Amino acid sequence: MKLKFQSNLQYQNDAINSVVDIFKGQQSRQSNFTVLNSANIDNKQQHIGSVYTNMGIGNSLDLTYDDVLENVQKIQMRNNLKRSEKLEGMNFTVEMETGTGKTYVYLKTIYELNRNYGFTKFVIVVPSIAIREGVYKTLQITKEHFNSIFNNEPANYFVYDSSKLDKVRSFATSNTIEIMIINIDAFRKNFENPTKENQSNIIHRPQDKLNGQKPIDLIKETNPIVIIDEPQSVDTTEKSKEAIKSLNPLCTLRYSATHVDEYNMVYRLDAVDAYENKLVKRIEVLSIRSEDSFNLPYIKLVEVGERKAKLEIDIQDKKTGVVKRRKKQIKLGDDLKELTNGRELYNNYLIQDISWGRGNEYVDFSNGARIYLNEAIGDLDEDAVKRFQIRKTIEEHLDKEIMLNKKGIKVLSLFFIDKVSNYREYDKDNNPIKGKYAKMFEEEYTKLITLDKYRENQNKDLEVSFTHNGYFASDRKKGKIVYKDTNGNTKADDDAYNLIMKDKEKLLSMDNSLRFIFSHSALREGWDNPNVFQICTLKESKGTYISRRQEIGRGLRLCVNQEGDRVEDYSVNRLTVMANESYSEFVSGLQSEIERDTNIRFGIVEKHSFANVKRAGNDNFGETIYIGYDKSEDLYRYLVKEEYITEKGNVTDKLKIAIDSEAESYESLKLDKEFIDFY
């Protein structure tokens, strides 16, 4: 099959135009753009959107600082974003929720910047080799699509390779669109060890193949537009920032769903916007811990003293929502629900009696339960929980296959596991053998597909072993590949990542029998597949290498059918998360992660929240007139005065009551005449 792309998605075009408009007023590209003969090029000679130097051809900008700032402020007002009072360098931030086409957006932006202003040199900086390969793959599969939109505009793209420096020379001297994809580690080392020449990256060393020039000098002379993919993993350190500056960028465009540093935000499509506008799958959480058979609080009596004791219980963090097993000192009258920060599982567990007699140490609870020293209740058999998770995931998968296969939609399920050895082990000769998760899967799958409900929808001749596989980092031992646990950032992880990335279309085909994917860490940020419909977490939530939000992000993208067309039916696009914690804990933790990652504050009004409210009519140039930041702040202060919001912007009950009463006009909120007339 072949993936297809849509060029008319409004939210993507809004993101693209928000970047293109940064340079509004820049001299437009001429249709008869030509390359000057090198013999006639004067040093720094100017041309439309470009500058010709002794080393090659670079981007050129003739706007002033004030011009760019004015453009940015107009874009921010249009997009209801906080206003930049001054530019924090030529850095611009685009926030797009996982699964909404971030990579496609910045690639199409490259073509639009070239079409509008003649810019030709672009460097895409990524945090890992794995994501680098993902971007390269996207360039390959979108080439035909972009050719059809941009009239076959010549464009060359390549992955930086220190052994192929001739491509760097071509990058510098070509007058067509040039896109270099480079991993930050390929040019950061020089700034971490500036005095150790032999430890610096090749990109910083003079090369005979380049007539003694350093590759970095050829790049910096082009004054490239630098695009940073996942900047929270690229340039959060001072050394990384120095490395980016060494590229001498005309500007830096930063794309992510989870920014750490926000510079001159020009577009935001956050998690809430994406869900509300049905741009990603809706999420349902099936909580294993909410099942009756597992719905017990964990309590272990670890120590008893005179009128006091120490219990080990599962406590939920107030800020993050993460549940961690901790020891807690208790006394008579203590309420375990309060001690665990409101966890409903511990309701009616008040300390009623403590016995500290030698050999008869115990604690009694108000609900009649008694626990003796070193005894535990609710201490589940973790393997039983994991097996139950696997079974429920397979059931959900098979149910969706019945509904979606006839629509030409292949269903995939993704398992995140704690240890590779739990899925794949090795004998003394390093021959692979099934781990306990693989055995559980095959046993439960075999049972389920014999049920009448699923039998007709299954290929009777398909061996169960062909339906699942693991994607893990690997080592080679005794001439054989052995898979291992890693943190997701090693070269071995990249090998596993490349395998699944390069087979993306193949994996989506009904002809491919693989439907269940097990991963330890290889499938991290940067990887997703539109047809992942189930995600199961066979690991502990605490101290994990990947957050709930990252996990869910692997399956948020809207699905595609066998023709490669996006399916926008929202009844189809449903992602089921098989969580190994209670529903309330999972949702609370997810909301905390969204607030932390996106700076969204739920139920908060900000001073700029009304800036993009439109006024009647347009200006003399036909552009929309907005009320602007000053009037937005006036309205904010008025709402504070009338106690509809607090000084910090929190929505009050008074405003909720007004909204619930179906108020449809500003008059119903008792706004004074000035505001009523203004609107």
Calculate what percentage of the chain has a pLDDT beyond 70: 78
CB contact at 8 A, 457 and 402? yes
| Range scoring the smallest mean pLDDT among 293-297, 463-467, 572-576, 643-647 | 293-297
pLDDT value of position 48 = 56
pLDDT value of position 541 = 46
Residue 309: alpha-carbon gap to chain centroid: 44
Helix, strand, coil percent values for the chain (each to nearest 5): 35, 25, 40
CB contact at 8 A, 309 and 319? no
Mean pLDDT (whole number) for 52-57: 72
Q: Give the CATH number of domain 45-269.
A: 3.40.50.300
| Range scoring the smallest mean pLDDT among 91-95, 563-567, 606-610, 639-643 | 606-610
Please state the domain extents for the chain: 45-269, 297-377, 382-598, 614-678
CB contact at 8 A, 57 and 120? yes
For the stretch 143-191, pLDDT in tens is 999 999 999 999 999 999 988 999 999 999 999 999 999 999 888 876 6
For the stretch 182-219, pLDDT in tens is 999 888 876 655 555 545 688 888 887 888 888 899 99
Residue 95 has pLDDT above 90, yes or no: yes
Name beta bridge partners: 483. Answer: 474
CB contact at 8 A, 276 and 348? no
CA nearest to 577, candidates 615, 534, 513: 534
What end-to-end distance do the CA atoms of the chain give, in Å? 52
Q: What does the CA dihedral 264, 267, 270, 273 come to, rounded to 10 degrees?
A: 150
Protein fold of 382-598: Rossmann fold (3.40.50)
| Range scoring the smallest mean pLDDT among 39-48, 75-84, 536-545 | 39-48
Model pTM? 0.72
45-269 and 382-598, same CATH topology? yes
Calculate what percentage of the chain has a pLDDT beyond 90: 42
Number of other CB atoms surrounding residue 79 within 10 Å: 17
Number of other CB atoms surrounding residue 198 within 10 Å: 6
**Between residues 502 and 264, the one the model is more confident about:** 264
Q: What SS3 state is found at 396? A: helix
pLDDT value of position 501 = 57
For the stretch 7-25, pLDDT in tens is 999 999 999 999 999 999 9
H or E segment and range at residue 244: helix 238-245
Encoded amino acid at 242, one letter: E
pLDDT value of position 540 = 55
Mean pLDDT (whole number) for 621-647: 78
- Alpha-carbon gap, residue 316 to 326, rounded angstroms: 10
H or E segment and range at residue 495: helix 491-502
pLDDT value of position 36 = 36
Mean pLDDT (whole number) for 334-349: 92
Number of other CB atoms surrounding residue 620 within 10 Å: 5
CB contact at 8 A, 587 and 283? no
Encoded amino acid at 140, one letter: Q
| Helix boundaries (H) for 122-229 | 129-149, 166-173, 185-192, 215-221
**Between residues 309 and 611, the one the model is more confident about:** 309
Encoded amino acid at 58, one letter: G
**Between residues 665 and 415, the one the model is more confident about:** 415
Number of other CB atoms surrounding residue 568 within 10 Å: 12
CB contact at 8 A, 162 and 184? no
pLDDT value of position 613 = 76
CA nearest to 458, candidates 520, 402, 380: 402
